[in-house]
Each structure stands twice: as structure tokens, then as C-alpha cells.
């Protein structure tokens, strides 16, 4: 009788509980608190933190693969969607069905702002290499500078899956922190007069142009950087569903139910993949630091390109929309809108900033494709 009790107790969680587990459970509790009571990106943080929480209750086998005796845990199978790079492109499908590329089509030159804002990716790659990360790891860390969650997860899962948890956390932290990180950088490098520039009305984009766009982008990206087509192709599929106007059911599903479902699965598996031994290391701290520098440099390079365009067009382009070239949609565009409006109450840059913003999504996906083809 007592033997059985002891055996049961040994199999229970308490016997296997380590300090690492306790630490991770505390962290998940803090994240849950931030998500629920501070409403800090709750849609992402609740599933992530609960994933961390579940996988750190020891002895459950939720994350373990199949053995001779068992079939393997649920989260292990959900994680396959991350490992094989399935979830991020599906998220892109939903984003495509939500995105209006009209502002970009109306002002094609803002596309270059989206390209310039990818500079931070490569400078951070450099920094990561200097800190001793191997090329594949450095590429994964660098992509945080693209400020695009799904792209970061996609590239990391294919290049260096062991860093997935920390990189996903860092990427989403900085995307959530866009309203705090960008304004000081923008304010420091622009004058109030520049921020006050109004950009006027955009030309109206015809439906046919919006239909050509997804096909055109897929074709060009696919031909030049085949590895980027997984993400860009899905993005454009979602977009053509939306713009066609005749597949409303599909585009509605992609932009609501599908993207929400995938977000839950993706986030809970990313959370579950976070291990205590990854979290409390110097490596994690350096990833957080490198992520921040990647982000700041991307903002800065976009801003500088904006300045260049400001001078080339005789002040017709407001330089702060360059900072929206980091892809975080639509937080970065909102940031430009807020700062522009602050400098001049009659200034509405939101739509103009959406151009570089969505170009940034394409830009970071292309950058990920390049890194994948060189390092993969």
C-alpha cells in the first residue's frame, strides 16, 4: 500500500519539480498578469504564457515526442506546425486578406522606404556574429529587425530552431514596444517642421491595379528570391482573395477565423518550446539586446531614407513615414500618424505611412528569403 503511494508520488509533478520549472512558471504568471490586467498584447501573450506554463509542469509529457510506449504529447504535435514552417505562412495568408496595398500602389516610391528599413537586419547580423553566434543563429536573431513576428518565427524555425522561443519573445516584445521605441528616435532625427509636413490626398487606385499587384509581386519575388515566395506567396494569395471581391467568404475566413486559429496554435507552441535552460542564460539576454539594436537601426535607416526622399522631392515627402518602413503593421504607421498629428493637428499621415509599412512586410520577407538561401 505505502509502496504504491510512494510510486504515485514519484510520478507526480512535485517529485520532478526543479528550480527551472518554478522560475518559468513564475515568468508565465508575470506574462499572464501583463496580458490580462495591463492588456499588453493579450491576443499573443495569453497563449504564449499559458504555453510556457503548461510545458513547465513536469512529468506531463505534453511536449515529448512519441516513444515505443506513448504516442507523444499534444503540444509536441502542435509544435510540428512551427517546426515545419507551416503556421507563419498561414498567418501571412490572413494578413494578406486584411491588408490594403492601395497606398503603396498610389505612391510606389514609398516602397523604397520599406527596403531601407531592412538595413537593421544586416547590421544586427554583423553584431550577432561578433558576439559569437554562428551564421544561422545570427541570421535568425537579425530578422527581429524586420519587426515582423511570423517572418521571424518562420526563419528561425528553419535556420536555428533551438532559439525559437527567445527570438519569438524578443520579436513580439519589440513589436509591442513600437510606440515606445520609435518616437524618441524619430523626434531626435527630425525637426518639428519636417514632421508637420502634410502629404495631401492620394490618387485613387483602380481595382485592376489592386488585382495586378499580388500577381506582380509574387512573380517578381518568386523569380528573384525563390525562398521568400512561401511567405510572400501566401500574403498575396490572401490579398487577391480580398481584392477580387468575389471570394468574400474565403477572405473573411482567412482574415478572421483562420488567422485567429493559427495564432492560438502558433503562440501556444512557441510558448511551450521555451525551456528554463534557455531563458536564464546570457544568450537570451544578448538576443534581447541585439533585437533592440536591430529594431532601432531599422527605424533609423528607414527614417534616413525618408529624409533623403524629403530632400529629393523638395519637401513633399514627410520623412517620418520612413520609420514606418519597419513592418510592424499597423503599429509603426500609427506611430507616424501620432507624431505627425502632434506636430500639426491638421496632418494625417496614417494612409501615407501604410505604404512603407506594407512595403516593409514584403521587404522583411524578401530579406528572410535571402538569409535562408545563403545560410540555410
Partner 1 sequence: MNVLGETLEITVIGLSVVFLVLLLLTIILKIQGWLMETFFLKKKKRSTKQNKEDKRIIKKEKKIRAVIAAALDSYLNDYPSEFNIQEGKRMQKYKIKIDDEIYEVEVERVDEDNNEIKSINKSSSQSKSKFSTVSKNTNKPTEKESTAKKRAAEIKRKNKSTTSGVSEDEVEIKAPMPGQILMISVAEGDEVQEGDHLAVLEAMKMENDITAPKDGVIKEVFVKEGKEVNSGDNLFIIN
Site residues (CB under 8 A) for partner 1?
104-106, 108-109, 111-112, 114-115, 118-119, 121-123, 125-126, 129-130, 135, 138, 201-203, 206, 209, 212-213, 216-217, 220-221, 224-225, 330, 333-334, 337, 341, 345-346, 348, 350-351, 354, 359, 362-363, 366-367, 370-371, 374-375
| Smaller CB separation from partner 1, 54 or 287 | 287
Q: How far is the CB of 270 from partner 1 (least distance, A)?
A: 24
CB of 221 to partner 1, least distance (A): 6
Contact 221, 366 (CB under 8 A): yes
Minimum CB distance to partner 1 smaller for 94 or for 363: 363
Nearer to partner 1, 80 or 100 (CB): 100
Q: How far is CA 270 from CA 48, 87, 113, 169, 315, in A?
A: 6, 11, 31, 9, 45
Shortest Å distance, C-beta 174 to partner 1: 20
Q: How far is the CB of 338 from partner 1 (least distance, A)?
A: 8
Q: How far is the CB of 208 from partner 1 (least distance, A)?
A: 8
Measured from the CB atom, the residue of 87 and 133 that comes closer to partner 1 is 133
In the complex with partner 1, the residue whose CB is nearer, 206 or 316, is: 206
Amino acid at each position: 500500500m505505502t509502496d504504491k503511494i510512494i510510486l504515485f508520488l514519484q510520478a507526480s509533478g512535485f517529485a520532478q519539480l526543479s528550480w527551472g520549472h518554478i522560475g518559468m512558471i513564475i515568468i508565465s504568471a508575470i506574462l499572464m498578469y501583463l496580458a490580462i490586467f495591463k492588456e499588453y498584447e493579450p491576443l499573443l501573450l495569453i497563449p504564449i504564457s499559458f504555453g510556457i506554463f503548461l510545458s513547465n509542469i513536469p512529468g506531463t509529457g505534453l511536449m515529448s515526442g512519441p516513444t515505443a510506449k506513448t504516442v507523444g504529447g499534444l503540444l509536441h504535435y502542435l509544435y510540428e506546425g512551427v517546426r515545419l514552417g507551416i503556421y507563419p505562412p498561414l498567418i501571412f495568408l490572413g494578413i494578406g486578406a486584411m491588408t490594403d496595398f492601395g497606398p503603396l500602389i498610389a505612391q510606389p516610391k514609398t516602397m523604397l522606404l520599406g527596403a531601407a528599413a531592412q538595413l537593421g537586419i544586416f547590421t544586427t547580423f554583423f553584431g550577432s556574429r561578433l558576439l559569437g553566434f554562428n551564421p544561422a543563429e545570427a541570421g535568425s536573431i537579425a530578422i527581429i529587425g524586420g519587426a515582423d513576428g511570423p517572418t521571424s518565427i518562420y526563419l528561425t524555425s528553419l535556420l536555428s530552431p533551438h532559439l525559437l522561443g527567445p527570438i519569438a519573445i524578443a520579436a513580439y516584445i519589440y513589436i509591442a514596444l513600437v510606440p515606445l521605441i520609435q518616437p524618441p528616435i524619430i523626434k531626435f532625427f527630425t525637426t518639428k517642421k519636417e514632421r508637420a509636413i502634410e502629404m495631401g490626398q492620394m490618387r485613387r487606385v483602380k481595382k485592376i491595379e489592386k488585382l495586378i499587384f499580388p500577381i506582380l509581386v509574387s512573380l517578381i519575388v518568386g523569380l528573384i528570391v525563390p525562398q521568400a515566395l512561401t511567405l510572400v506567396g501566401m500574403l498575396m494569395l490572401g490579398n487577391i482573395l480580398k481584392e477580387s471581391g468575389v471570394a468574400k467568404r474565403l477572405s473573411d475566413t482567412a482574415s478572421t477565423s483562420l488567422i485567429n486559429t493559427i495564432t492560438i496554435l502558433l503562440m501556444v507552441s512557441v510558448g511551450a518550446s521555451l525551456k528554463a535552460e534557455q531563458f536564464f542564460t546570457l544568450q537570451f539576454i544578448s538576443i534581447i539586446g541585439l533585437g533592440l539594436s536591430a529594431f532601432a537601426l531599422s527605424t533609423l535607416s528607414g527614417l534616413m531614407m525618408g529624409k533623403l526622399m524629403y530632400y529629393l522631392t523638395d519637401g513633399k515627402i514627410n520623412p517620418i513615414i520612413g520609420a514606418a518602413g519597419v513592418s510592424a503593421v499597423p503599429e509603426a504607421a500609427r506611430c507616424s500618424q501620432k507624431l505627425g498629428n502632434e506636430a500639426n493637428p491638421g496632418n494625417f499621415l496614417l494612409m501615407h505611412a501604410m505604404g512603407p509599412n506594407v512595403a516593409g512586410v514584403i521587404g522583411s520577407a524578401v530579406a528572410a528569403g535571402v538569409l535562408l538561401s545563403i545560410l540555410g
